[in-house]
């Protein structure tokens, strides 16, 4: 009796702390939002959202949509950074997401509580937690241009040929990379008109720059223009000035150097119809060779015939395609096709060889099973050996494959010799119909 009491006390002592630890280890979800600093109108600020748990995520967190009047909001992409922390002595781990905010006007904005729902390990239902509301204060900025921490500008000049001939092309490309600013906020580079050159703008390339882990670095914009030389001589592409503002809102200027190119005169083109050497007709008419007239007339006739016969050609092509599809469908539904697929499966030791086998059996004699097919040629022992080698108590896949390779050709010859199917319709020419054993 004393031993039983001691055992009961030990069980209570062990179960008590375990129950307390179970309550402490209840799934926990914590959401924390923070802004990375002050911002001026036209600038960019990061809103960081940390979603952390004391267990693990069984489903990705469902982030809320954020809409702020007067602020351009870019939600997090498909990537996130892994973060770890601690709260009340409990270790937390989770994911960090970044909203990119670009206010378009100065003032004070309230960011509401952001509710996040996530599936957690050891939780019977999804858990929801919210961040604390935040206030975003936006200052006024002077000047024009994108607001960035740093603006980098590069350019390139690419002539179509060296030296540049009249009618040649010069491509000027300018790339602006703004650290801490969204690409869509970078204004386009303005390329002006230049005397002696015709301007052809090209489509801009715009993309945001990330660190590959969900973090936002900035934006990049590339503007390009093609200048086509209209006359020979020296042409000069002038310098370009790029206006921008730093993080404090102060105006800055970047200058890109210009370039000069020498355009050569275009070579004289040979006249395809030389009048000087052509014989004169009447009062100075142009002579056209008769062969050219014949070729032009033949071309017109061919074009007219093609235009008039296009509907018939289209119908014929559609009929040919339909006949080809029907012929292909009949071939794939034939016993020969199924036999070829089976032999291919047996040669390559394909795992789906039984699928190919039963499709062939169904088309060869409407056999529903391997035993039924073997019984049709009085060879049930071989069928049982194949099934036992693959599905018996001592499987031998290699032996089953060897038996199938050896028996299926013999069965096929026997079926084609003794069990040829009878056509549903009588022969059109009974005298010329082949014997049942002669079918290929």
Distance between CA atoms of residues 404 and 92, nearest Å: 60
Q: What is the pLDDT of residue 350?
A: 59
Return all residues near 285 (Cβ < 8 A) that are at least 6 apart: none
Q: What is the pLDDT of residue 143?
A: 75
Q: What is the pLDDT of residue 427?
A: 60
Q: Which of these, 381, 382, 438, lies nearest to 409 by C-alpha position?
A: 382
69 CB-side CA count, 13 A: 2
Distance between CA atoms of residues 54 and 90, nearest Å: 7
Provide the residue ranges of all domains of the chain, joining segments of one domain with +: 29-139, 150-264, 335-417
Distance between CA atoms of residues 73 and 64, nearest Å: 12
Give the DSSP H/E element, type plus range, for residue 407: helix 397-418
Q: Which residues of 384-395 are buried (b: 16+ CB within 10 A; e: fewer)?
A: ebbbbbbeeeee
Q: Which of these, 216, 212, 154, 214, lies nearest to 184 by C-alpha position?
A: 216
- CA distances from residue 152 to 148, 175, 202, 237, 345 in whole angstroms, order as listed: 10, 8, 21, 21, 62
Burial of 178 from C-beta contacts in 10 A (0-12 / 13-18 / 19+): buried
Judge if 29-139 and 150-264 fold alike in CATH terms.
Answer: yes
Encoded tokens for 213? 């882990």
Domain 29-139 has CATH 3.40.50.1820: no
Q: What is the pLDDT of residue 429?
A: 61
List the chain residues with pLDDT less than 50.
1-24, 280-283, 432-440
Among all chains, which residue has been given the structure tokens 């200058």? 255
Return all residues near 102 (Cβ < 8 A) that are at least 6 apart: 42, 43, 44, 45, 71, 72, 73, 74, 181, 182, 185
Q: What is the pLDDT of residue 65?
A: 93
- Contact by Cβ (8 Å): 266, 296: no
Q: What is the pLDDT of residue 285?
A: 54
Supply the pTM of this predicted model: 0.50
Q: What is the pLDDT of residue 438?
A: 40
* pLDDT over 90 percentage in the chain: 38
Beta strands in 291-429, from DSSP E residues, in sequence order: none
Residues in the chain: 440
| Domain at 150-264: CATH architecture | Sandwich (2.60)
Give 339-348 pLDDT, tens digit per residue. Answer: 888 888 888 7
Residue 229 has phi, psi (to 5 degrees) of -75, 125
Q: What is the pLDDT of residue 351?
A: 64
Distance between CA atoms of residues 120 and 375, nearest Å: 59
- CA distances from residue 418 to 305, 340, 422 in whole angstroms, order as listed: 57, 21, 11
């Amino acid at each position: 009796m004393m031993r039983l009491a001691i055992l009961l006390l030990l069980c209570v002592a062990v179960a008590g702390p375990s129950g307390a630890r179970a309550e402490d280890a209840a799934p926990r979800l914590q959401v924390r939002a923070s802004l990375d600093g002050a911002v001026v109108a036209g600038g960019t600020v990061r809103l960081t959202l940390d979603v952390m748990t004391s267990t693990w995520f069984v489903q990705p967190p469902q982030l809320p949509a954020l809409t702020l009047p007067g602020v351009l909001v870019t939600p997090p992409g498909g990537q996130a950074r892994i973060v770890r922390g601690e709260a009340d002595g409990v270790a937390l781990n989770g994911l960090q997401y970044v909203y990119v905010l670009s206010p378009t006007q100065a003032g004070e904005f309230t960011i509401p509580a952001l509710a996040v729902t996530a599936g957690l390990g050891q939780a019977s239902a999804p858990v929801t937690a919210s961040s604390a509301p935040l206030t975003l204060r936006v200052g006024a900025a002077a000047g024009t241009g994108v607001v960035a921490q740093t603006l980098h500008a590069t350019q390139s000049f690419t002539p179509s040929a060296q030296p540049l001939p009249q009618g040649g092309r010069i491509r000027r490309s300018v790339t602006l990379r703004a650290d801490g600013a969204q690409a869509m906020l970078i204004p386009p580079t303005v390329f002006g008109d230049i005397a002696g050159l015709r301007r052809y703008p090209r489509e801009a390339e715009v993309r945001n720059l990330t660190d590959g882990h969900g973090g936002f670095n900035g934006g990049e914009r590339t503007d390009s223009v093609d200048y086509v030389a209209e006359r020979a001589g020296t042409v000069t592409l002038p310098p370009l000035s790029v206006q921008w503002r730093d993080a404090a809102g102060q105006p800055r200027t970047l200058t890109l150097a210009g370039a000069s190119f020498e355009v050569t005169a275009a070579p004289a083109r040979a006249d395809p119809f030389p009048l000087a050497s052509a014989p004169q007709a009447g009062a100075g008419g142009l002579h056209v060779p008769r062969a050219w007239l014949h070729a032009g007339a033949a071309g017109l006739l061919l074009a007219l015939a093609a235009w008039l016969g296009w509907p018939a050609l289209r119908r014929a092509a559609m009929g040919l395609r339909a006949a080809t599809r029907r012929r292909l469908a009949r071939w794939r539904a034939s016993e020969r096709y199924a036999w070829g697929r089976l032999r291919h499966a047996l040669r390559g030791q394909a795992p789906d060889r039984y699928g190919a086998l039963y499709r062939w059996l169904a088309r060869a004699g409407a056999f529903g099973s391997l035993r039924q097919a073997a019984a049709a040629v009085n060879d049930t022992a071989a069928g049982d050996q194949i099934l036992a080698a693959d599905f018996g108590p001592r499987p031998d896949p290699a032996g089953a494959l060897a038996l199938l390779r050896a028996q299926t050709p013999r069965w096929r010859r026997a079926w084609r010799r003794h069990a040829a199917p009878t056509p549903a319709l009588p022969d059109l020419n009974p005298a010329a119909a082949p014997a049942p054993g002669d079918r290929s």
